[in-house]
Amino acid sequence: MFAFFESRIRPTARPGTAPPAGLMAFYWHYVRQTKGLFGAMFVSGVVVALVDTLIPQFIGRLVTLMQAADRAAAFQAALPMLLGMAAVVLFVRPAVLMCDSLLRNNAVVPGVTNLIRWQSHWHVVRQSWPFFQNDFAGRIANRVMQTSNAVRESVVSSIRAIWYIVVFGLTTLGLLAAADWRLALPTLLWFAGYILFLRRFVPRMRGLAKASSELRSLVMGRVVDSYTNILTVKLFARARDEDAYVREVVDEHTAAIAAHMRLTTQFMTTLSTLNAALLTGTAGIGITLWAQGRIGAGVVATALPLAWQIVNVAGWVSWEVTGIFENVGVVQEGMETIAVPHAMTDRAGARELAVQAAPEGGEIRFEHLTFTYGRDDGKKVLDDLNLVIRPGERVGLVGRSGAGKSTLVNLLLRFHDLEQGSLRIDGHDVRELSQESLRAAIGMVTQDTSLLHRSIAANIGYGRPGATLDEIVAAAKKAQAHEFILGLQDWKGRTGYEAHVGERGVKLSGGQRQRVAIARVILKDAPILVLDEATSALDSEVELAIQSQLLGLMEGKTVIAIAHRLSTIARMDRLIVLEQGRIVEEGTHAQLLQLGGHYAKLWAHQSGGFLPDEVQSEDQVTADA
């Protein structure tokens, strides 16, 4: 039985469309996928409310029965009714409540929650790289996690609480009015007052809840930021500054909670007064009518439990309504992250890029490329840049920080859309290609190496899904990583390739992380290779050993290498010197030294001020390296 309800939803179903921006549209986007379950909850809510209205009626009939003069005869005549009442209480009501609970707790809560969470994550993780650069990772994750709960709870509460009190209240009004219209007056007036009460308090609570939710996410973001950069905090002995950084937003969050709780106290006081008036009014009118002989004691015995049930339910419904609007506030805040259209999407009918090994394929052509990162001042990071990299050519990019080297690579990977000019791979405009296939054709080792909080084998195997352990080990050996991997042991006792590396790879040294990253790219074996300071974190001995492997890895590939340490790229087929987004020099290492320009000055600076008169041969460059 449990398995039946738990299997009604497949949470990891791929979403058909992106979450829309409108609030109601956002809700309907998720509700429509499970509308059958919510419809069943709607029906079960009606049945539960109707069954609950029977209980006060049973009490009234029992009071009337016990007033009979001939008790034995009255009992005998009422026996079928009493058995029916017992059956409703013993079997029907528990069965209805169980069905309602199965729908809510065993189908909706696990299934709908994770369906929303999964589809929200699926959408967010496909956002562009700048999207993640502009926010806290902790706040993004918090919004994805919390919004799913908020959507589910607000929809479930609307069906359970609001629908319940509507059905129960209308049924109660009908029953009381049928006995005497005056007996229904307190309930009718209570409903009018209750609606005004909710209209006054609930919107204010929604605003306070949204503010509190935003501040809670900000607290989460700042705390996660401190934890993620804990090494920097420790190195600079800035724990007190981090305290102040977090304390500031904690104080704001505390003030927001306090304002919320002040309103909550006013809310509860007003509601208790309203409920007291309902009970007193119903009892007063009922007893007066009974004293006048207009109604029997059984009617009074029915009216009071009905009023009492409304009072009890009113508190629950009020909190549920408050919760609904609090959750709406959370949803609105979450939509700022989740309901954001993808900034860079594949064009309709985007091609799948298939790059052949050099010399047949791998040409990269930058034509009249101008890029500003959308800056208002129009400052150009790349300025009408033209560059053709032939299939199988190994090109080194040289230049000061900010010259445009990394921007050029980011545009190649389409982390940003082109502003002016074109970028083609084997004649295909990158804007017409699917981003997944484009990046699958490029292997890249970055300077700031970040590993997944998984095993060493999983991190290396990330380069080629389905790779065998033997292939993973072979790649690690080529990257000079096999020896240190065998000596690893994590905090759970896992060793070697099964050892986990910690968040972002913090359990490994910078050089170890870089070797794992190189192994990952070796395993990927993409036809285009990008090396962005790929050996900057390695000691000279390991770098020398890896460089020989990298030379082998470069065979049959188009290579772009970025390095500030010129000795690491001096053996490239061609060196491109960038300055303020323009190519100011290009040629081989020897040609650029002979030119005596920007590159020659950099080389002289890095080699201790010594610049030989004669052009160095490739062997001499290797020896210097």
Q: Strand 394-398 to strand 574-579: parallel, antiparallel, or no bridges (unpaired)?
A: parallel
Mean pLDDT of 605-612: 57
Query: Is the four-CA dihedral 277, 279, 283, 289 of positive or negative sign?
Result: positive
Higher pLDDT, 149 or 231: 149
Distance CA 444, CA 467 (A): 18
Minimum mean pLDDT range among 113-122, 311-320, 337-346: 311-320
Instruction: Give the pLDDT of residue 297.
Output: 79
437 exposed, middle or buried (CB, 10 Å; 0-12, 13-18, 19+)? middle
**Domain spans, the chain:** 2-338, 355-441+526-625, 451-523
Helix (H, G, I), strand (E, B) or coil at 352: coil
pTM over 0.75, yes/no: no
DSSP 108: I
Sequence-distant (6+) residues with CB within 8 A of 390 are 363, 558
CA–CA distance, 592 with 573 (Å, rounded to integer) = 12
Task: Check residue 610 and report its DSSP letter.
Answer: -
Q: 586 forms bridges with which residues in the sheet?
A: 576
DSSP assigned state of 433: B
Tens of pLDDT along 165-200?
777 778 888 877 887 888 888 888 888 888 888 778
Round to whole Å and give the CA distance between 158 and 573.
68
When mean pLDDT is compared over 155-164, 350-359, 402-411, 613-622, the highest value belongs to: 402-411
Q: Which residues contact 458 (CB under 8 A, 6 or more apart)?
A: 452
Sheet harboring 582-587: ordered strands across? 442-445, 528-532, 558-562, 394-398, 574-579, 582-587
Q: What is the pLDDT of residue 232?
A: 75
Residue with the larger pLDDT of the pair 609 and 304: 304
- The length of the chain in residues reads 625
Which residues is 206 bridged to in the sheet? none
CA distances from 570 to 281, 388, 536, 545 (A): 94, 19, 15, 17
- Single-letter amino acid code for the residue at 527: P
Q: What is the pLDDT of residue 390?
A: 93
* pLDDT (tens digit per residue) in 229-240: 777 777 777 788
Hunting for tokens 């935003």 — which residue is that?
214
Q: What is the pLDDT of residues 271-330, one digit of tens each?
A: 888 888 888 888 888 888 888 877 877 777 778 887 877 777 777 777 777 778 778 888
For 410-427, give the secondary structure using H, E and C.
HHHCCCCCCCEEEEEECC
Q: Which CATH number fits domain 355-441+526-625: 3.30.1510.10, 3.20.20.80, 3.40.50.300, 3.40.630.30?
A: 3.40.50.300
Q: Beta partners for 464?
A: none
Q: What's the pLDDT tens digit per position in 457-514?
A: 999 999 888 899 999 999 999 888 899 999 999 888 899 999 998 877 878 887 888 8
Tell me if domain 355-441+526-625 and domain 451-523 are identical in fold: yes
pLDDT category, 89, cuts 50, 70, 90?
confident
Closest Cα partner for 217 from 336, 339, 323, 129? 336
Average per-residue pLDDT for the chain: 83
Query: Is residue 530 a contact partner of residue 567, using CB atoms and an 8 Å limit?
Result: no
For CA atoms 74, 80, 84, 89, the dihedral sign is positive
Give me the pLDDT at residue 613, please. Answer: 39
CA 222 to chain centre: 17
Burial class (CB in 10 A: 0-12, 13-18, 19+), 33: middle
- Per the model's pLDDT, the better-predicted residue between 625 and 368 turns out to be 368
Statement: residue 52 has pLDDT above 70: yes
- Residue-level pLDDT at 534: 65
Per-residue pLDDT of 428-437, as tens digits, reads 999 999 999 9
C-beta separation of 461 from 522 below 8 A: no
Query: For 451-523, CATH number?
Result: 3.40.50.300
- Whether the per-residue pLDDT at 575 is higher than 70: the answer is yes
- What radius of gyration, in Å, describes the C-alpha atoms of the chain? 36
Domain 2-338 -> CATH class: mainly alpha
Q: Are 512 and 504 in contact (CB under 8 A)?
A: no
Which residues lie closer than 8 Å to 122 by C-beta, 6 or more apart?
14, 15
With tokens 């600076």, the residue in question is 605
Residue pair 376/367 in contact by the 8 Å Cβ criterion? no
pLDDT of residue 616: 40
